[in-house]
């Protein structure tokens, strides 16, 4: 386990802070081999970019701090994550042009879903039919490339794959778009993920997201990443927190 973490400016969500999924995945990596167990990461404040944060072991997991303040906490948890129903590659491609972010985006330079990021993941989900009444489902195509390979992590698997942090990031923002991000400004508060494998570079993948309820300022969503054969690569659940646009920085 490393004792520090620096998130390069490339991996932003809002302009001046780290993409929540990427930061969560980066600290989840420091928990070591978790197999197919769930890891939960709670974000306490916007993660700074290009700044050295400290990682420390605490009871039950790890804590990420900056300037003495807690940025995030991560722990292996005994939880199941119900996957979102898969859609085909063709369905996802057909849905993507209806992505609301094409016309209005609160964070257009976001690494995961920003329309102004030619070097980002460019995951642009559009709505698809859902078999579950009252639940919104969205989907997007994604082909990982060499730019999302392990940049500061090393893996035993020799296949060219996306790194863990980028995989978490791919599962992040689509949840917000499945929820009510188009209606109100939200940021990621908590993400619980199970990563069964790392996405292979150059292969077609489909990311699906689903809105699973709201309560006050909180919105609950889920996401799933499927590979070209329809196998689940990773799945996640999210808690989003509505914030005041007038006071939220960046």
Half-sphere exposure of 24 (CA within 13 A, CB side): 32
User: Which pLDDT band, with edges at 50, 70 and 90, does 180 fall under?
Assistant: confident
Closest residue by Cα to residue 1 from 77, 74, 71: 74
d(CA 205, CA 228): 6
Whether the per-residue pLDDT at 91 is higher than 90: the answer is yes
User: Mean of the pLDDT values across residues 34-56?
Assistant: 94
| Span 209-226, pLDDT tens digits | 999 999 999 999 999 999
51-55, 140-144, 204-208, 240-244: segment of lowest average pLDDT: 240-244
Which domains are present in the chain? 4-242 (2.40.160.210)
| Span 52-79, pLDDT tens digits | 999 999 998 999 999 999 999 999 999 9
User: Mean of the pLDDT values across residues 102-109?
Assistant: 95
In this predicted structure, what is the pLDDT of residue 118? 95
User: Mean of the pLDDT values across residues 83-111?
Assistant: 96
* DSSP state string for 50-65: SSEEEEEEETTEEEEE
User: Which pLDDT band, with edges at 50, 70 and 90, does 162 fall under?
Assistant: very high
In this predicted structure, what is the pLDDT of residue 248? 56
Whether the per-residue pLDDT at 171 is higher than 80: the answer is yes
């Amino acid at each position: 386990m490393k004792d520090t973490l620096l998130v390069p400016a490339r991996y932003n969500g809002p302009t001046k802070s780290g993409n929540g999924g990427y930061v969560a995945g980066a600290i989840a990596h420091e928990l070591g081999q978790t197999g197919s167990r769930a890891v939960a990461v709670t974000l306490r404040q916007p993660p700074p970019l290009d700044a050295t944060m400290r990682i420390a072991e605490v009871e039950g997991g790890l804590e990420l701090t900056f300037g003495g303040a807690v940025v995030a906490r991560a722990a292996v948890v005994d939880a199941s994550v119900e996957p979102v129903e898969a859609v085909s590659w063709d369905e996802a491609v057909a849905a993507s042009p209806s992505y609301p972010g094409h016309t209005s985006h609160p964070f257009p330079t976001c690494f995961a879903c920003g329309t102004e990021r030619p070097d980002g993941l460019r995951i642009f989900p559009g709505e698809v039919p859902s078999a579950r009444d009252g639940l919104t489902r969205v989907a997007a195509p994604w082909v990982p490339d060499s730019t999302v390979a392990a940049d500061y992590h090393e893996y035993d698997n020799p296949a060219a794959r996306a790194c863990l942090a980028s995989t978490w990031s791919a599962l992040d923002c689509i949840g917000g778009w499945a929820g009510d991000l188009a209606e109100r400004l939200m940021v990621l508060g908590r993400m619980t993920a199970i990563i069964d494998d790392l996405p292979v570079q150059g292969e077609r993948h489909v990311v699906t997201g689903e809105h699973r309820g709201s309560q006050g300022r909180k919105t609950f969503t889920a996401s799933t990443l499927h590979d070209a054969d329809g196998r689940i690569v990773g799945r996640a659940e999210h808690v989003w927190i509505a914030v005041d646009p007038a006071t939220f920085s960046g």
